[in-house]
Amino acid sequence: MNPALPLVKQIMEQAINEHATDLHFIPSPNETKIHFRIQGTRKFHSVISKSQYELLLTFFKFKAGMDIGESRKPQDGSIANLFPALGKYTLRLSTLPMLASESLAIRILPQEDFLPLDELFLFPYQLNELKKSAIAQSGLVLITGPAGSGKSTTLYALIRFLMKEHSYQAITLEDPVERQIDDVIQVQINEQAGITYQAGLKAALRHDPDILMIGELRDEATAHFALQSSLTGHLVFSTFHARDAVGTIYRLLDMGIKQQDLFQSLVAVISIKLIPIRQKGIIRRAAILEFLSGEDLNKAIYSRFDFHQQDRNSFKHLRRKAYAYGFTAEGFPKEAAENT
């Protein structure tokens, strides 16, 4: 038996039992600290020795198909169903070189017990707005927010909802494929094999899709191609890193996307934030949404920095509303609610 296996299993079992979404391994000369991210908060978990971490790191890199002998370059990899008894999970791994070692970050991606779309959002009227945007005949729907805000979770739930409601030919392009969806063609981006987002999009368009899902608009070329795809009669969904809905428009324009292209293709920009709430005595996180669609979206595209999100649709207003309704959980105190 691999000497690292008991330690790896112990850490993973604790992480899953505590509903951690991420594990961070931060090495120093003599020890390595382990942190879990739980409910969006990074929490210290434990310390292991230098020798234990070296065994653990080698084990993970080998299982993920990464180069065990390479420590000078960042690497990415994934592992599916490492411990089946703990449930179905995919682990997404990333290493970064340090002076005398490598740090390791692991994202835990559950492959079962998905929350349906109807259970993700705090306010039901926002769920209805999202569904209206998702049934457009063509165009680009962007789900935006910072890392860890629930963009991918929302996107997967939305695709599953649409597939139940309609007989769509749906194709996804992802790096990596985080969760499997029944009856959907999911393509794993592999640049070393020549499967880039651009190449994948060209091939996907020849596959007669009704829906295209692009995991993330990471660069100007992918953004342009997604926009052009949406103009050819396809409904395109993707995620994008931005602080809020209006900030999404600014970032796209700064990437060189023309205002006219945004006007012709964008159906909606939906920005997400997760806030802690209390429901039936249980503390969990729920999503609140800033929407830009219709006339407000057009104003944001053409007004540039002169446009401001209407107060009733802003995160500031929504957080106050959540507090006023008694949803706000511990960790979001009264004074914070009143000042956001």
pLDDT reading at 309 higher than 90:
no
Q: How confident is the model at residue 335 (pLDDT cuts 50, 70, 90)?
A: very low
Least confident of 26-35, 91-100, 300-309: 300-309
Among residues 61, 83, 63, the alpha carbon closest in space to that of 16 is found at 83
Average pLDDT, the chain: 89
pLDDT reading at 308 higher than 80:
no
pLDDT reading at 262 higher than 60:
yes
Rounded-to-integer distance, Cα 22 and Cα 192, Å = 27
CATH number for the domain running over 117-339:
3.40.50.300
pLDDT reading at 334 higher than 60:
no
Mean pLDDT of 29-40: 95
Mean pLDDT of 266-278: 92
Give the pLDDT of residue 326: 86
Contact predicate 83/12, CB 8 Å: yes
pLDDT reading at 281 higher than 80:
no
Contact predicate 248/240, CB 8 Å: yes
Rounded-to-integer distance, Cα 24 and Cα 192, Å = 27
Rounded-to-integer distance, Cα 267 and Cα 289, Å = 15
Domain map (residue ranges) of the chain: 5-110, 117-339
5-110: which CATH topology?
Beta-Lactamase (3.30.450)
Model-level pTM?
Answer: 0.81
Least confident of 42-51, 173-182, 205-214: 173-182
For the ranges 24-28, 96-100, 162-166, 219-223, the one whose mean pLDDT is highest: 24-28
**High-pLDDT (> 90) share of the chain, %:** 61
Identical fold at 5-110 and 117-339? no
